[in-house]
Every structure is written in C-alpha cells, then in structure tokens.
Amino acid sequence: IPPLLERVNLLLTDENVAESLLGELDFHWGYLAIWLEGDAEAALKRLQSARNRLPETHRELIAETEFDLALARQMIGDGASTIEYLEKRIQTTLPPDFMMLTRWVGAQVFIYLMSGDLKCALPAAQRLGSFGKEGGNVHLLAWAEYLQALALYQSNRLDEALQGFLFSAEKRDICHRKAAVDALAGLVLTYHAMQRTDDAVDTLKLFMKFARGTADPENVAVAESCRARLALMLGDLKS
C-alpha cells in the first residue's frame, strides 16, 4: 500500500487532476483510514472532502462514502446525531433510491450494534431486509439476516438468531465474505448455546473448510478462534 499512496499524493498535488478524481482518491484515503487504521478523525476529513467533490453521477461511490461517513461520526461520539441525520435522509428520499437507502439504513444498523443498542438494531436490520425483499436482492437479504441474527443472539433469543445465521450461512457464496464468516461463527456458537453439540461440531467443520477455501488468512484466523472457543466451552482443553 505505501508505494501506491505515494503515487496518490503526487496526483493530489497535480492541478490538472479532475475534481471527481480527487473525490475518488479522498474516498479511498478515508476508507483506508477507517477500516485499516481505525482513525475516525482522519477518515472523517477525507470522506467529507470526497462527498463535496464527487458528482451526483457517481451514485455508488457516494453511497459508500455516506456509509463510511456515518460510521466515522459514530466513532468520534456523534452516534445519536448521526442516526437522526440518516433518518431524515431516509424519510426524504422519494421515489425510493435503493442504493442510497440501503447504505443509510445499513449505517443505522451498524451504529446501533456498535453502541450496544440491540433494541433499536433489530428493527433497523429488519427494515434493511425489507429493501432486500422489495428489490429482490439476495446479497442484501443475507446481510440483513446476519445483522438481525447478531442482535438476536446477543439478546439471547437463540431460536430466532439460529434462523438468521442459517440463512446467511446457506448464502455464504453470495453474501459479503466477512459477513458470511461471522454468520458461520455465530451459527456454531448458537448451536452450542442451544446444547446442540453435534450440530455445532458439524458446522465448525463446514466453517473451517469455507474459511480455508477463501485463501484469506484473516478468515482462517476467525475460524481457528471459533474452533478454540468451542473446544474451551466443551471442556476439550487438549485441543
């Protein structure tokens, strides 16, 4: 990444670079700051600049920028006001612009979960799922089911959580890879909490195979962590 960022710096100082390209570069800078470095303040600065520079024709990039902006604001302590801002945008978006709506509602779900507000996270995730159903978007449905299951699991509503994790796990080749990995981990832990040990062990085998098949060391690490956690809960200290 460092050599690439040095080239980006050179582009940012070139007066001939189009404003829209500068906006794209600002978005990528902000994305790296929030997701790789956890630096919300730096991300906020870059993402705000991106939002100001990106033309309305860049709808997908604007939608992603809005999502990351909301998370950055929550990380610096502005979660409540950000939820209000997102809701206003949602209510005033007519006719439905599903690309923007899904990012705004998705950001609400993430903020509620990051804040530990499970009561509000669940209906927000259900709302996200309604957009997936209306638009026939299975990828979005898998995301929404996973997020609902996460809130339900943490609320100890295990039977309901199980259904959401099952849906996302079954759609693991369609769902966002990180969400699929977490859904499989959630499924293992839910089965264990329901005292369905055989199902937990079988799902863990599926999880390990899937994680290794992604060829991503981070996914394998999550699967290994889940395996260690299940072994501890089962009293298998040797493993």
pLDDT in tens, 129-185: 999 998 889 999 999 999 999 999 999 999 999 999 999 999 999 989 999 999 999
Reference 125, options 143, 137, 101, 138; nearest CA is 143
pLDDT in tens, 29-81: 999 999 999 999 999 999 999 999 999 999 999 999 999 999 999 999 999 99
Residue 167 contacts residue 125 (beta carbons within 8 Å): no
Q: What is the DSSP string of 218-238?
A: HHHHHHHHHHHHHHHHTT---
Reference 152, options 181, 134, 126, 133; nearest CA is 126
**Burial class of residue 206 (count of CB atoms within 10 Å of its CB; 0-12, 13-18, 19+):** middle
pLDDT (0 to 100) of residue 19? 87
**What is the residue-averaged pLDDT of the chain?**
93
How far is 198 from 218, CA to CA, in rounded Å?
Answer: 26
How far is 110 from 105, CA to CA, in rounded Å?
Answer: 9
CA angle 192, 193, 194 (to 5 degrees): 90
Assign 97 a pLDDT band (cuts: 50, 70, 90).
Answer: confident
